Chains A and B, each alone.
Chain A
Amino acid sequence: MNIKDIILFTVHAVTSNRVRTLLMLVAMSIGVGSVIILTSLGEGARHYVIDEFSALGTNLIIVLPGRTETAGNQAGMLFGKTPRDLTVYDAGAIHRSPYVKQIAPISVGSASISYKQRSREGPVIGSSASLLTIRHWEMSQGKFLPPMDYDRTSPVCVIGAETKHELFGNENPLGKWLRIGDRRFRVIGLIASEGRSVGVDVEKLVIIPVASAMAIFNNPSLFRIMVESKNRDMVPSAIKDVERIIRERHQGKDDVTLITQDAVLGTFDKIFTALTFTVAGIGAISLFVAGILIMNVMLVTVSQRTAEIGLLKAIGASKQQITILFMGEAALLSLIGALAGIAFGILVTQTAEIFLPKMTLVAPWWALVAAMVTAITTGILFGILPAQRAARLDPVTALSRR
C-alpha cells in the first residue's frame, strides 16, 4: 500500500460522507480560525504600538531623574525617591555633548487654565523649542515656543485643539492671553491634532517654556529630558556621554535612569509577543476540543463501517494498514478543517481591518504553521484510538453483521 493509494482511499472515504466532513470542518475551522484571529489581533496591537513608538524616532534617549534599577549597591536609594534634582542646567550640559543633536527638557504638572470666564484643569508641559521636532508635531496655526535659554521664563504658550475649543470656542486664540495657575501667558500657536504621539494626548495640551512651568509647579526638578542623538549609531556613545556628564555634575553619582527608544520598543515587543502567545494558547484549547470531536466522529465511523473493516481483514489487510487508513481519514479531515480555518480566520481579520483601519491584522507565520501543525497533530492523536479500535475488530463478528 503506497502513499498515493492511502490518500486516494481516505479521500474517497472522506468525500463520501459529507455530513461528517462538514461537521469536522466546522469544528476544526473554529479552532484554527480562532488561533489566527487572536494572534492577528495580538500582532496587530504589537505593530500598532511599535509603529507609534518608532514614529518618535529610534535615536531618542530619555533621561529620568533617579535610579530605578534595583541592581547594584545604591545604598539608601529607594525606588521613586529622587535624591538629586535633574535641572535645566543638566539639560544644557547634555545639549553640549558632541553626540547630541537636540534635547528637550520636560516638566509636567497639572494646573487650572482659564480664559475670561472659562476655565479647565489640565496637563501643562514645560519644555523648549526642540520638543516640536523631537515629537514630530505640526503646527496648525502660529508658531511653537521660540528657542531660548532653558532657565528663562517667558509668558508664551502653545495649545492643543481641545484646549483651544474649550477655552476659545470659535474665537481665534492667537495673541489672546490666558491664565495658567497664577500667571498669564499669550497664546502663540496651535498644535495640529493629527500629530502622532504616544502617551500624550496632544489635543488636551498646554505647552509653556520649561522655566515658567517649573516656577508654576514650584518644582526644581525636571520630569525628564528627551535627548536625540545625531544618528542611530551614536545612541550608545550618546548614552555614555550623558552618563558621564550627569556623573560629573552630580558628584560622581549615577542617579539618573536612561531609557532608549529601542529598549522601550523591546519591552513592548516582549509584552505583546507574550500576549499573542497567550491568546494563541487560548485558541489552541478550541483545537483540543475539535480534536475530541474528531475522536468521537471517528469512533462513530468505525462502528458504522465494521463490515468494511472485517472485509479489509478478510482480504488480507494487516492491523497496521487498517490503523493507517483510519488515522489517515482523521488526519485528512483535520487538514481540510485547518485549511478552512485559515480561510475563515483570514476572512474575519480582513473584515475586521475594514473597521479598524489603524491596525494591520495579519496572522504571524508561526501562528499559521502552529495552527496547522496542532490541528493535524490533534487529528492524528485523537484518530489513534478509533483507528486502533478498528484494527482490533474481530473480523468474524464484523462480517456476520449485515
Chain B
Amino acid sequence: MIRLEKVERIFQVGDQQVTALNKVDLSIEAGEYISIMGPSGSGKSTLLNMLGLLDQPTGGRYLLDGKDVTSLTDDEQAYTRQQKIGFVFQFFHLIPRLTAEANIELPMILAGIPEQERKERTQNVLKAIGLENRADHRPDQLSGGQLQRIAIARATIMQPKVLLADEPTGNLDQHSGKEIIQLLEELNSKGLTLIIVTHDINIGKRAHRHIQLVDGKISADESGAL
C-alpha cells in the first residue's frame, strides 16, 4: 500500500543542510501495525509527516496505493489526506472553541458530508470511545486521555486506510496512555494500518513490526515479537 523509494528530506538551515531522511526505502502493507523508534532528531516525525503528505520529500518517490503522490497538486494532496490518512498528535490539536462533537465532525464538514450522516457517525464514534456524555464538552473541560480519544475519533471518522500517530501517549500518564494504545490496537484489529512513533519501548514492543531510525536511516526493521 505504501512504498517509499530512496526518499530524502533535506532541510536548509541558513547555509547548512540538515538531512532528516537519508534515502529511505520502505514498504508497508495494508493492515500492518508498525512502531517507529529512534533517538531524538533521528527523523521519526519527518518520516511520519512524509507518509501523511504533510511534508514533501526533496528526493525519491512515494507511492500510495501504487500512485506517485509526490507529484500531486496541493489540492489533490489535501484530498488524499482527507480520504486516506488520519493523524494523531502528541498535543491532540483539538480546536479549543469547539465541542468534542464539533471537533470530531470537522473532517466530515470539510469533506462535504451531509449533516444527518455526520451526526449519526459522530454519535456512533462517541459511543465507541465511551464519551457519549461528553459530546458537548469543550477541550478545556476534558482530561488528556479523553482529548486523545476524541482526537483519534476525529482521525478515524473519515475511515482512512492509515493512521499516523506521533507520540500519541507522550503527553499522557501511564494509565491513559495504555487506554489509548488499546483503542488504537482495536482499530488496527479491524483492518486500519497503524503507524506509531514512540519513545516508549513498552509501547513500541507491542507493534507487529518495529522500525528503528538513526540519523535519518532505517537501521533495523524487524517483524514479530521482540
Give the B-binding residues of A (Cβ under 8 A). Answer: 1-2, 5, 9, 12-13, 16, 307-308, 310-321, 395-396, 399-400, 402
User: B25-67 interface mask toward A, CB cutoff 8 Å, 1 = contact, 0 = none?
Assistant: 0000000000000000000010001001011000000000000
**Residue contact A310 to B75, C-beta cutoff 8 Å:** no
A400 → chain B closest CB, angstroms: 8
Q: Interface SS of chain A: helix, strand, loop or mixed? A: helix
Residue B145 is within 8 A (CB to CB) of chain A in the complex? no
Q: How far is the CA of A279 from the CA of B148 in the complex (A)?
A: 57
- Report which of B79, B81, B102 forms a contact with A314, defined as CB distance below 8 A: B81
Proximity string of chain B (62-80) to chain A, C-beta cutoff 8 Å, 1 when within and 0 when not:
0000000000001100110
Query: What are 8 A-B pairs at a CB distance below 8 A?
Result: A1-B109, A13-B97, A16-B97, A308-B93, A316-B78, A317-B82, A319-B74, A396-B49
B210 to chain A, nearest CB (A): 25
- Taking a contact as CB atoms closer than 8 A, the residue among A12, A16, A310, A316 that contacts B82 in the complex is A316
- CB pair A316 B79 closer than 8 Å: yes
Q: What B residues does A318 contact at CB under 8 A?
A: 74-75, 78-79
- A400–B166 Cα distance when bound, in Å, is 11
Which chain B residues border A308 with CB–CB below 8 Å? Answer: 93, 95
List the A side residues contacting B45 at CB < 8 Å.
400
Decide: B112 and A1 in contact? CB cutoff 8 A. yes
Inter-chain contact A316/B111, CB cutoff 8 Å? yes
8 Å CB contact of B109 from A5, A310, A399? A5
Contact pick for A315, options B75, B81, B91, CB 8 Å? B81
What DSSP secondary structure best describes chain B's contact surface?
helix
Known A-B contacts A319-B78, A399-B89; A1 and B110 likewise in contact (beta carbons under 8 Å)? yes
Which residues of B are found within 8 Å of A1, using beta-carbon distances?
109-110, 112
Complex Cα distance A2/B113, Å?
9
State whether the Cβ of B98 lies closer than 8 Å to any Cβ in chain A. yes
B79/A9 in contact, CB under 8 A: no
- Chain B residues contacting A5 (CB-CB under 8 Å) are 109
Measured between alpha carbons, how far is A299 from B85 in the docked complex, in Å? 30
B109 neighbours in A (Cβ, 8 Å): 1, 5, 9
The interface residues of chain A lying within 8 Å CB-to-CB of B98 are 12
Contact across chains for B93 and A307 when beta carbons are under 8 A apart: yes
Taking the closest CB of chain B, its distance from the CB of A313, in whole angstroms, is 7
**In the complex the two chains form, is A310's CB within 8 Å of B93's CB?**
yes
Q: Which residues of A contact B168 (CB under 8 A)?
A: none
A402 to B94, CA, bound (A): 11
Closest Cβ of chain B: how far from A389's Cβ, in Å?
15
Q: How far is the CB of B77 from chain A (nearest CB, A)?
A: 9
Closest B residue by C-beta to A4:
B115
| Chain B window 81-121, contacts with chain A (Cβ cutoff 8 Å), 1 for yes, 0 for no | 11100010101010101100010001101111000000000
Q: Is B4 an interface residue (CB 8 A)?
A: no
Residue of A with least CB distance to B118: A5
A12-B97, A396-B55, A399-B93 as given contacts; A315 in contact with B49, CB under 8 Å: no
Expressed in whole angstroms, the Cα–Cα distance for A395 and B102 within the complex equals: 21
B158 contacts the other chain (CB 8 A)? yes
A315–B95 contact, CB under 8 A?
A: no
- The chain A residue with its CB closest to the CB of B95 is A308
Decide if B209 is an interface residue (CB 8 Å cutoff).
no
B154 at interface by CB-CB < 8 Å: yes
19 extra interface residue pairs, beta carbon distance < 8 Å, beyond A311-B93, A316-B81, A319-B75? A5-B109, A12-B102, A16-B97, A307-B93, A310-B93, A314-B52, A315-B82, A315-B87, A315-B110, A316-B78, A316-B79, A316-B83, A317-B82, A318-B74, A318-B75, A318-B78, A321-B110, A396-B55, A402-B91
